[in-house]
Amino acid sequence: MSDAANAASSKKKGKKRKVYQSLTKVMAVPPPMKSRKKAREVTSQFHVLTHNIDAIKQDTSKNERQKKAEIAELEKKLDEIGGRKAYQEASVISTKHFRSSKFVFQTLTKLGMRPKKGEPPLPLLEVGAINRQLLSCPWLQTRAIDLMQRDEGIECIDFFDITPEQKYRVLVCSMVLNCVPDARKRGDMIRMSFQHLQPGGLYFVMIPLLCLTHSPYMTDDLFMAALRHVGFEIVERKDTPKIAFVCARVPSKEEEEKKAIRAAQIEQKSQSSSSSTHTSSTSSTSSAPSKSIPVSAFRYPPKVIARGKNKTRDFAICFDDA
Ligand SMILES: C[S@@+](CC[C@H](N)C(=O)[O-])C[C@H]1O[C@@H](n2cnc3c(N)ncnc32)[C@H](O)[C@@H]1O
């Protein structure tokens, strides 16, 4: 290109940039997101703002007028960063580099759950769906849901508004639990996921590792114990440097029966041996998440279990029955 042509082309580009900049100023439209850094910023701002809104809603020390004003201020900030639409855009960018669906396909195949030729597809519920990767798999019958519809096949519905009916063989919840702004709701989400699944069904839950390493209320062991608390058993775990990929299973009917028989035998034994002393509790152990973590670890409000300068998150999980 000649110098004159170069100059004309950069003049044109400059003009276009100026028009775009003035347009975005007038329309207050955030520019399209491209970088992962920007995507991370939007994601974390969105989480902070939605968590703060939720905290205000639950704050009993404030009157309704105060709450309304503070929430309006935070919602304005949410709008300024582009709201849930920008957040979903950011999620698409941030999650481009890990593939939850790949983990799901691989694990289902490894565990022998992938249907053989002629067998019906597996009913699957995908919570927080922002792409068609699971929807377009022919051996899965996917119901994909999200609070906001990004694609035609994705239903716009809140997970908490669907009554669990043990309908699904698989439930996928990738990077969603960490978006739920309240510890008790996270507990509800895990429990409801269990109730959506048939016996032997699989729960895929993906979560940023920072939630398990940088929260004063959470550890890796505690998260695993939370899954066990509602009845899941852990069958697969794989971590990338940033994300924990977990696959947990609802025990089959036979496993449940065996467990109940075992628990009854232990109960009987301990009753006969301690009937004269009455020193220990003989209640069923089914609600104990693990030997080392007591159920009380999931009581609300969450207990601080590890402090340190790296504890920058507020991720916690609580259960009503703890
Ligand atoms: C960080 S994105 C993750 C998207 C995708 N699953 C992935 O792994 O890339 C979280 C998504 O969960 C959705 N979400 C959060 N709470 C939800 C709820 N209660 N019901 C349905 N979708 C929800 C959000 O709207 C958002 O699209």
CA–centroid distance, 178 to ligand 1, in Å, is: 9
Both 227 and 140 in one domain: the answer is yes
Q: Output the domain CATH number for residue 246.
A: 3.40.50.150
Let me know if residue 261 belongs to a domain.
Answer: no
Q: What percent of the chain is predicted at pLDDT more than 90?
A: 56
Same-domain status, 208 and 63: no
135 CB near ligand 1 (under 6 Å): no
Q: Same domain for 119 and 245?
A: yes
Ligand 1 atom, smallest distance to 206 CA: 8
Asked if 91 and 145 sit in the same domain, the reply is no
Q: Would you say the CB of residue 94 lies under 6 angstroms from ligand 1?
A: no
Q: Is the CB of 133 under 6 A from ligand 1?
A: no
Assess whether the C-beta atom of 147 lies below 6 angstroms from ligand 1: yes
Q: Is pLDDT of 30 > 90?
A: no
- Label residue 262 by pLDDT band (50, 70, 90): confident
Judged against a pLDDT cut of 50, whether residue 23 lies above it is answered with no
Closest ligand 1 atom, residue 179 Cα:
15
Question: Helices 83-94 and 36-58, interaxial angle, to 10°?
Answer: 130
More reliable by pLDDT, 284 or 194 = 194
Q: Is residue 76 part of a domain?
A: yes
Q: Report the C-alpha dihedral over residues 53, 59, 62, 68, rounded to 10 degrees.
A: 20
pLDDT digits (tens, 9 = 90+) for 190-243: 999 999 999 999 999 999 999 999 999 999 999 999 999 999 999 999 999 999
**Residues 42 and 123 occupy one common structural domain:** no
Judge whether 276 lies within some domain.
no
pTM reported for the whole predicted model = 0.74
Q: Where a domain ends, among 62, 77, 97?
A: 97
Same domain, 79 and 167: no
Q: Which protein residue's CA is at the shortest distance from atom 10 of ligand 1?
A: 176
| In a shared domain, residues 178 and 235 | yes
C-alpha torsion sign, points 255, 258, 264, 266 = negative
Determine whether the shortest distance from the Cβ of 227 to ligand 1 is under 6 A: no
Does residue 104 sit in the same domain as residue 244? Answer: yes
User: The domain containing residue 73 runs over which residues?
Assistant: 30-97
The full length of the chain comes to: 322
CA of 128 to the centre of ligand 1 (A): 3
pLDDT tens-digit readout, 75-122: 999 999 888 888 878 877 766 656 899 999 999 999 999 999 999 999
61 in a domain, yes or no?
Answer: yes
> Mind giving me the DSSP string for 21-87?
HHHHHHHTPPPPP--HHHHHHHHHHHHHHHHHHHHHHH-TTS-HHHHHHHHHHHHHHHHHTTHHHHH
Of 97, 127, 155, the last residue of a domain is 97
Q: How confident is the model at residue 73 (pLDDT cuts 50, 70, 90)?
A: very high
* Residue 175 pLDDT class (50, 70, 90 cuts): very high
Q: How many domains does the chain have?
A: 2
Co-location of 177 and 41 in the same domain: no
Q: Is the dihedral of CA 157, 160, 162, 164 positive or negative?
A: positive
Same domain? For 183 and 211 the reply is yes
Query: Considering the domain boundaries, does residue 16 fall inside one?
Result: no
pLDDT band, very low/low/confident/very high, at 248 (cuts 50, 70, 90): very high
* Residue 123 shares a structural domain with residue 153: yes
Domain final residue pick, 81, 97, 113: 97
| Burial of 17 (C-beta count, 10 Å sphere; 0-12/13-18/19+) | exposed
Tokens (6 digits) for 216 = 């004063």
Q: Is 134 close to ligand 1, i.e. is its CB under 6 Å away?
A: no
Whether 131 lines ligand 1, by a CB cut-off of 6 Å, is no
**Co-location of 182 and 76 in the same domain:** no
Minimum-distance ligand 1 atom for the alpha carbon of 43: 1
